[in-house]
Amino acid sequence: MAELRQAGVARLDNVDVGGGIGIRYTTEQPLDIGRFVQAIGPMARETGLRLMLEPGRYLVGNAGYLLTRCVHRKRSGGRSYVVVDAGMNDLLRPSLYGAAHDICVVGDAAAKECEPVDVVGPICETGDFLGVDRHLPPVTRGTLLAVRGVGAYGFTMSSTYNSRPRAPEVLVDGDRWAVVRERETIDDLMRGEATADYSALAWQIGSGR
């Protein structure tokens, strides 16, 4: 701010410190908001401008869970795989840049001995995984899993890759819940498509044009 004012920029209304407030994905230490305010507060006050902050994922990241169910178990190359019905199209971050999201078995499984597994999706892609080398209680076909911390990036980064309709979104408040975005269908994926009319092209080819 001081440098801008020295450069002759007179109209300054706000100072924006941006975002970057992290959330806990696995074992990270959550940010101490009090210490954060103590660090930036004095500097912001010195500017005499309105302070703006973009908390983003800090507000919604840990509010989102991706629920997925085991559809198959297999071993290959000395590793154990849990194949689930969610894939990289539902949560792209692990495949895109190696993001680690906590994955747990839904229900009381704390007393059961854990085993190392890779949690992978049903898409035939090397990058189709949700978690690698995770220690989970015994998972069998039908076991429900929860992938945590997907509120800021899950649905917004999801796609219909491999002709997979996107999952529904469900809002939960205590013991109340409501579907706030319906599950997509194959008809939804094909709604914008149309059959091509080749009659004009065929006439041009037949006439030598």
H or E stretch at 181: strand 176-181
What is residue 18's predicted lDDT score, i.e. its pLDDT?
84
Is residue 13's pLDDT more than 70? yes
Is residue 180's pLDDT more than 90? yes
The mean pLDDT of 186-209, rounded to a whole number, is: 77
* Mean pLDDT over each residue of the chain, to the nearest integer: 90
Is residue 29's pLDDT more than 80? yes
Tokens of 207: 């006439």
Q: What's the pLDDT tens digit per position in 87-120? A: 999 999 999 999 999 999 998 766 678 999 999 9
Instruction: Indicate the SS3 state at residue 3.
Output: helix
| CA 189/CA 166 separation, integer angstroms | 10
In the chain, DSSP finds a helix count (H) and a strand count (E) of: 6, 10
DSSP type of residue 62: G
What is residue 133's predicted lDDT score, i.e. its pLDDT?
96
Instruction: Indicate the SS3 state at residue 167.
Output: coil
| Superfamily classification of domain 61-165 | Lyase, Ornithine Decarboxylase; Chain A, domain 1 (2.40.37.10)
Q: Which residues pair with 84 in a beta bridge?
A: 70
Is residue 209's pLDDT more than 60? no
Tokens of 202: 């065929």
Instruction: Indicate the SS3 state at residue 204.
Output: helix
DSSP 77-104: TTEEEEEES--TTT--HHHHH-----EE
**Greater pLDDT, 133 or 204:** 133
In sequence order, what are the residues at sequence separation of 6 or more whose Cβ sits closer than 8 angstroms to the Cβ of residue 163? 186, 189
Report whether 19 contacts 56 (CB < 8 A).
yes
Is residue 50's pLDDT more than 70? yes
Q: How confident is the model at residue 165 (pLDDT cuts 50, 70, 90)?
A: very high
Instruction: Indicate the SS3 state at residue 36.
Output: helix
What is residue 205's predicted lDDT score, i.e. its pLDDT?
64
Break the chain into its structural domains and give their ranges.
2-55, 61-165
The mean pLDDT of 148-166, rounded to a whole number, is: 95
What is residue 2's predicted lDDT score, i.e. its pLDDT?
82
Tokens of 119: 């949690």
Q: Look at strands 115-120 and 79-84 and give their pairing.
A: parallel
Neighbours of 68 (CB within 10 A): 24
* Burial class of residue 78, CB neighbours in 10 A (0-12, 13-18, 19+): exposed
Q: Which of 43-47, 117-121, 181-185 has the lowest mean pLDDT?
A: 43-47
Q: What percent of the chain has pLDDT over 90?
A: 64
Q: For residue 25, which amino acid is it?
A: Y
**Greater pLDDT, 199 or 174:** 174
In sequence order, what are the residues at sequence separation of 6 or more whose Cβ sits closer than 8 angstroms to the Cβ of residue 15? 1, 44, 47, 49, 50, 51, 52
Predicted TM-score (pTM) of this structure? 0.83
Task: Please identify every residue annotated as catalytic.
Answer: 124
